[in-house]
Structure 1
Amino acid sequence: MSELGKALKEAREEKGLTLDDIQEATKIQKRYLVAIENGDYQLLPGQFYIRAFIKSYAETVGLDVQELFTQYASEVPNPAAAADSEIEKLPSRKERVERTAPVKSKATSTNVSSLLPKIIAVVALIAVIACIYFIVIKVNGGSDDKSSKASSNDDVTLQQGSDIGDHKSKKKSTDGATGETADKTADQKQSDSTKKATSKNDPSDQQNEDKPTQQTLKMTSQSGTASTYSLSDTDKFVVEVTAVDGKYSWLTASKDNASGERYYFANVAKGVNGQKDASFKKDLSSVQSLYLKIGNTTGAVVKVNGQVLKYPTDTTTQSLTINFKKS
């Protein structure tokens, strides 16, 4: 411990102050206060802070600063001398130039070394592209030469064949056969197309109940969501309810009215995820009336003997009663 540090510590203890109290009063870190008391000035952040820290410490413990600096002048560093010492330690311009030059050279050498692999890679890539280009040109050129030779040979063969009677005769025979085969093929395709079209349009290949008949289906009354229709001028009464593609609806079908004999009570669906495709179709030619209740009219289509029944309103749920008068 230095004499100056000892004097500061004794003054602090006489006032009953701790290092924490001095730190709180001066805002100087405790480790620096300990260094001042021990005379370890090299632990302080710099020579210029020593006098300032000692001055703050002395004022806090009630010592005369000027007297303290005069009495312990040999222990308190001189900032001016310290500054001169620091300046003397600075390198000269010549030394700075000599130190900087090798660094720059080294940096330049390092940059060139780091770029060398990239340059080699670029050159190699260009060489590979050039090789591929020449190979492609050569291959294409060879193909063109072969094609040209083949074409030339074909021309020579045709010219020679036209001068020989046997060859000419065979060519005509072959062409004739080819023409006949082509004609037969075209006729056969046309015949098949005609047969398909005839078969497609032939009414005998379709079910009779799906073909609209000359019947009269009209609405006779309508109240709210309930509508009544009459079917006449026909001896058949086939009703079919199917779902629109991608939709479903629930359907009730019963004889005469809602409480009559039930024909169907389930969903009709088509192409709906999680539901099986389902529809309702029944020949009711032996009954006089049918009651239908449809839960989602936008998802269901009603056909009577193949004729689509148009809903009277846009209501989602509707009840339909169809009265049948056999002709």
Structure 2
Amino acid sequence: MSIGNSPEDERPLQDVSEEARTPVGRALRQARIAAGLTVDDVSNATRVRIAIVHAIEADDFDACGGAVYARGHIRTLAKAVQVDPDPLLAQYDAEHGGRPAPTPAAPLFEAERIRPERRGPNWTAAMVAAIVAVVGFVGFTAVKGGDGDSGKDQVAEGATTATSKPASPTPTGSKPADEKPEPSDSAIAAAPQDKVTVRVSAVDGHSWISAKDHNGRMLFDGLLKKGDSKTFQDSSKVNLILGDAGAIQLYVNGKKINDDFRPGAVERLTYTKGDPEVG
């Protein structure tokens, strides 16, 4: 009888760290149950559809529409069930090939270019030129007339004529040349009325955004950092998806949208030429 290690003891130890790791969706589900919340509660609090919540908890992220939106949903759901989203996002990136790189913005339809304002005739300059001509004529008459009484009479008459000559009238309804229009709240306030123009500004943080035109063509899909703005324009419709709607300020057709978006909430929005009056 020999004493030593059995064959089973000589087998290499297995690395169970990957097997023991709880999937992202299951971790979110366990946190929701621990918080005493239902799927309906989470959907109402985050505005994420019930079907997407169920899919994420089953570790099916295809329903999110892409890695950008999946990361936004994970962050939103994690905050709703009061868990730290960063470890879950890191695990998601490790399992799905890392964080996606932002795509370059599609060319816009020169939405930032404002049409020049037509101005009327410069009546102030014309008045100044007329006054200068009259004064010059009076001075010339005074020098030519000499010291005689007739010269003095000419000067007096010329001065009276210059004083009594009415200035060129300012046309009714025209603006003086130095009067400037007050600046609007948005750089796109002068956008053409036959198109829909949407300006997206990250004022309270950064957010992933996606914008498409009425044909479904991608205008932009990437990260908008705090302080950055993007303007999109189309002939009939602009579709938006905001990864963190609470950080975004919207101007549609030159008017500010005052919807109370929640921080971390994912919003899907569509604007047309009639907005914001029609919704």
Q: TM-score, normalised by structure 1?
A: 0.26
**Greater relative contact order (CA < 8 Å, ≥ 6 in sequence):** 2
Larger radius of gyration: 1
Question: 1 or 2, which has the higher helix percentage?
Answer: 1
Q: TM-score, normalised by structure 2?
A: 0.30
